[in-house]
Amino acid sequence: MTSSLIPHPSSLTLHSSSEAVGLRIHITGVVQGVGFRPFVYGLAQRYGLTGWVCNTSSGVDIEADGSAQALSDFATALRAELPPLACIDSFDAAPCPADSYTAFDIRASRAEPGAFQPISPDVAVCADCLRELFDPADRRYRYPFINCTNCGPRFTIIRDIPYDRPLTTMASFPLCPDCAAEYGDPLDRRFHAQPVACPVCGPRLWLERPGDDEEVAAGDDAVAATRTLLRAGAIVAVKGLGGFHLACDATDAAAVDALRRRKLRVGKPFAVMLPDLAAARRHCALSAAEEALLTSPARPIVVARRRPDSTIAAATAPGQTTIGIMLPYTPLHHLLLERAPDFPEALVMTSGNLSEEPIAFTNAAARERLGRLADAFLLHNRDIYTRCDDSVMRVLPGGDAVVPLRRSRGYAPYPVRLPRPGPALLATGAELKNTFCLTRGDYAFLSHHIGDLENYETLVAFEEGVAHMERLFRVRPEALAYDLHPDYLATRYALERAGREGLPAVGVQHHHAHIAAGMAEHGLPLDARVIGVAFDGTGYGDDGAIWGGEFLLASYGDYERAAHLRYVPLPGGDRAVREPWRVALAWLTTTGLPWDDDLPSVAHARALRPDAPAALAQQIARGINSPPTSSMGRLFDAAAALAGLRQTVTYEAQAAIEFEAAVDNDETAAYPFDYANGIIDPAPLWAALLADRRARLPLSRLAARFHNGVAHMTRDVCRHLRADHGLDGVVLSGGVWQNMTLLRATLALLAADGFTVYSHRLVPSNDGGLALGQAAVATATRMRGEG
């Protein structure tokens, strides 16, 4: 991270040569719990300085005495040689008179009321700890909770700040003399490593059966017994860093099918964990950027292209050419996946929950809720304070840009910097893939993944998450921001709380929030105005319609809807989302195209019930439960249905995901759209798609022509808006932009046309990034309101 607050060393005007002078430094950022003080201590030794370093509630303070040259070198090294997990946001240095220190000390932490600092996300086990884990001579040999200042749990075990052991879930494990010695030695890798532990004093592991609290095995025997079960095709609930996984042999089709049945998950892909990079390369075609992401300290799930000869069961990711893979990130994972000739090379590691409930993270909840899903539980007694799902990332094909799909473990709650400090706010996010966002100063703390706010359990997780992060970052919101959809639980929470606490509440239109999220993460200035292309499935529009194919002229504080996809009725509302054939036939009706009997969507309807097509025609004609929509997600669904790909879906965006997987990348033709007076009409697209189908062109070419068509249309409408309004910055946001084929094609077309394009790199383009945009809009609105 760069910061204008960091002075160049030459700007530190200190007295000349060998005379001792002083330097006082205040550093903010992620500088606690990451080995920063030992690092400072080591540098002070190297340059022969005296003085002290101290954690405060707002960062790290240093006072150092020495020669001007030594101090200058010290200040340079501080920034150049940062410990792997540290991240400096601001660095303020000022000369001061030399004191009479005789040594360099690490002083006790100082708490300042109300002060706060960013908290490190959880970090994958480091190479040093891994070496010790498999070293028979090490006292932590095969100990599944080994960690040090450079790795291990952070956010998930922290109850409060400052980040000290008594305020984490490690408080119940008093240090043994050996661990205490390491913890207290400034030159040790475990100096002040709060979760430090060993087999003598730390957490323990055991295996039990559902409905029976008796331990079947403990410690390394529990790992061995778990591996025996997995080898035999069993499903085991494994307690991890931020919650439970359900694990099974990913190369065993019967085991994967059983997991699908028990989890009530029909088609959605499962994530797979592989023991190492060599295995990942064998199952997926990986770019250098994908390998870097897989092995990064955050260890996200990376959606990568699956090799045709991979032995991972097809049922792991049905209908897809990609698969979400990750590498082990805890010592326990490394033990569990340790290579052996007869042990599966890939394990399904999917979130431990039933259907759409939040992921289980306590032993009690796992026993209660996962009992019917798992054949055994691999448990431990290090409590998880905050549940945190695995993050999911992609790399833009043909480049190295990271595209976040879900930002959670390993990233949250690391803040995004806002373009300027504003009032403290809480933005409550959307309904699906909910995250919320707290702001303080110019920090925007986007939460971990909460999930789909559609049930009581998830609402409780949301409320607990909000309370926890307000405490951690010492934020009392002065205003709330919410989505305009009146039925979202996040909206109701915001309005009820605003009423109860007498706080102002700012309603933010869904697609405006998407575009503002893109602007904020790219640090666009306060007076920026862009063409915002917001493509998604569903967002509540100003006119009560369901928007989702929108071109906005947007600043942080305002927007104007400049163009949108033509409205089509959505017969059956939510039902039409699960049954794309309905949207397909609605589009044909709107366009005036006949429902020919040979069309797959018509055939599907007739197969359901002979009078189903007539009933749907009536529903559309009379407008019964048929809200108008300009949704781009539904346009993809309708195209996939008319192309014959699928007529119903089992999870959101399934048709679009499979349509993308079908694309023939060598096809260059594009289906046309009409555009006039701000209305984008796909009428010519439907005519061309149906003609291609009748000409028996393969699905792969229809899919490609559709994707190319949407990309060309986007470029063309942006051209119109640039000509009319003089804007050439374009922000692409909304869940549809997680379609890599569409994103890549559109980025290329817009760049070739001279546009400056901003697409998401830090937060997801889907509703998982929405709260950041809500916060950015509400900040602008509040600042304006206050003059």
Of 151 and 749, the one with the shorter C-beta distance to Zn ion is 151
Residues near 543 by beta carbon (within 8 Å), at least 6 away in sequence: none
Of 176 and 289, the one with the shorter C-beta distance to Zn ion is 176
Q: Which residue in 467, 423, 427, 513 sits closest to 764, CA to CA? A: 513
* Distances, alpha carbon 126 to alpha carbons 30, 58, 133, 763, in Å: 18, 27, 10, 25
Of 298 and 392, the one with the shorter C-beta distance to Zn ion is 298
Q: Which residue is it, tokens 């030794």?
A: 45
Of 131 and 420, the one with the shorter C-beta distance to Zn ion is 131
Of 150 and 631, the one with the shorter C-beta distance to Zn ion is 150
CB of residue 406 to Zn ion, shortest distance in Å: 25
The answer to whether 684 and 617 are in contact (CB under 8 A) is: no
Q: What are phi and psi of 497, to 5 degrees?
A: -70, -40
CB of residue 241 to Zn ion, shortest distance in Å: 14
CB of residue 473 to Zn ion, shortest distance in Å: 26
Longest dimension (CA), the chain: 96
CB of residue 363 to Zn ion, shortest distance in Å: 22
Of 125 and 313, the one with the shorter C-beta distance to Zn ion is 125
Of 201 and 697, the one with the shorter C-beta distance to Zn ion is 201
Cβ neighbourhood burial of 787 (10 Å; 0-12, 13-18, 19+): exposed
CB of residue 334 to Zn ion, shortest distance in Å: 12
d(CA 70, CA 86): 23
Of 130 and 253, the one with the shorter C-beta distance to Zn ion is 130
The answer to whether 64 and 46 are in contact (CB under 8 A) is: no
Of 197 and 740, the one with the shorter C-beta distance to Zn ion is 197
Given 3-state DSSP classes, what are the helix, strand and coil percentages for the chain, each rounded to the nearest 5? 35, 25, 40
Residues near 624 by beta carbon (within 8 Å), at least 6 away in sequence: 571, 618
CB of residue 143 to Zn ion, shortest distance in Å: 9
CB of residue 299 to Zn ion, shortest distance in Å: 13
CB of residue 289 to Zn ion, shortest distance in Å: 25
CB of residue 302 to Zn ion, shortest distance in Å: 22
CB of residue 82 to Zn ion, shortest distance in Å: 16
Of 176 and 545, the one with the shorter C-beta distance to Zn ion is 176
Residues near 125 by beta carbon (within 8 Å), at least 6 away in sequence: 133, 146, 147, 151, 152, 328, 329, 330, 331, 334
3-state secondary structure of 45: helix
* Distances, alpha carbon 480 to alpha carbons 50, 156, 444, 541, 773, in Å: 48, 26, 14, 20, 13
Helix axes 489-501, 456-472, angle to 10 degrees: 50
CB of residue 702 to Zn ion, shortest distance in Å: 51
State which H helix or E strand residue 571 sits in.
Answer: none
Of 144 and 569, the one with the shorter C-beta distance to Zn ion is 144
**HEC letters along 660-687:** HHCCCCCCCCCCCCEEECCEEECHHHHH
The residues binding Zn ion (CB under 5 A) are 126, 129, 148, 150-151, 176, 179, 198, 200-201
